[in-house]
């Protein structure tokens, strides 16, 4: 399935869409490692407006046609480049995340780059694998969305 996917540097006005996307309960469960209170809009906006000003973060908005479909970014964690993405639920299962990650990786050349995925988020695991990421291990961490420590898979590209 072909889509007119475009990545654009994230603007502060895009955060309104991202905030709404991350309120979906199924999406929160799959992402697992979310903020303690995803419904706290002030905290969300404050945090993400600061992140948009961080020169080490490459934050892109995913458009399908004229519609915002999600976000994708590279950030630094413990000295390593990490990838993160969030897709609006109505775009799930259509190849949007896979295509957006392919496009993003052609813009973001930092390697190696890592991705972390909750053990049961099969869709996100497949997105990484289709883009050449290899599973290199597991970790455990406290997932706010699940109120429990869960296993996550660690993927690496390059």
Q: What is the DSSP annotation of 27-89?
A: HHHHH-S--S-TT-HHHHHHHHHHHHT-TT-EEEEEEETTEEEEEEEEEEETTEEEEEEEE-G
CB atoms within 10 A of CB 139: 10
Which residue range is the domain that position 84 belongs to?
5-157
* pLDDT higher than threshold 70 for residue 2: no
DSSP 144: T
CA angle 11, 15, 20 (to 5 degrees): 150
* pLDDT confidence band for 130 (50 / 70 / 90): very high
Tell me how many domains the chain contains: 1
- Rg of the chain, C-alpha, whole Å: 15
Q: In this predicted model, what pLDDT tens digit does every residue of 90-127 receive, in sequence order? A: 999 999 999 999 999 999 999 999 999 999 999 999 99
Q: In this predicted model, what pLDDT tens digit does every residue of 14-49 receive, in sequence order? A: 999 999 999 989 988 888 888 889 899 999 999 999
Q: What is the CATH number of the domain that holds 17?
A: 3.40.630.30
pTM for the full model? 0.93
């Amino acid at each position: 399935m072909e889509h007119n996917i475009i990545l654009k540097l994230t603007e502060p006005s895009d955060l309104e869409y991202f905030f709404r996307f991350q309120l979906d309960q199924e999406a929160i469960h799959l992402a697992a490692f979310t903020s303690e209170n995803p419904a706290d809009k002030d905290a969300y906006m404050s945090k993400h407006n600061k992140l948009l000003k961080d020169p080490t973060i490459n934050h892109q908005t995913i458009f399908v046609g004229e519609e915002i479909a999600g976000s994708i970014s590279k950030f630094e964690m413990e000295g390593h480049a990490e990838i993160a993405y969030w897709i609006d639920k109505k775009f799930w299962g259509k190849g949007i995340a896979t295509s957006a990650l392919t496009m993003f990786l052609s813009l973001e050349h930092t390697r190696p780059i890592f991705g972390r995925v909750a053990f049961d988020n099969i869709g996100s695991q497949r997105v990484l694998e289709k883009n050449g990421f290899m599973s290199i291990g597991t970790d455990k961490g406290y997932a706010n969305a699940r109120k429990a420590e869960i296993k996550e898979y660690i993927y690496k590209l390059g």
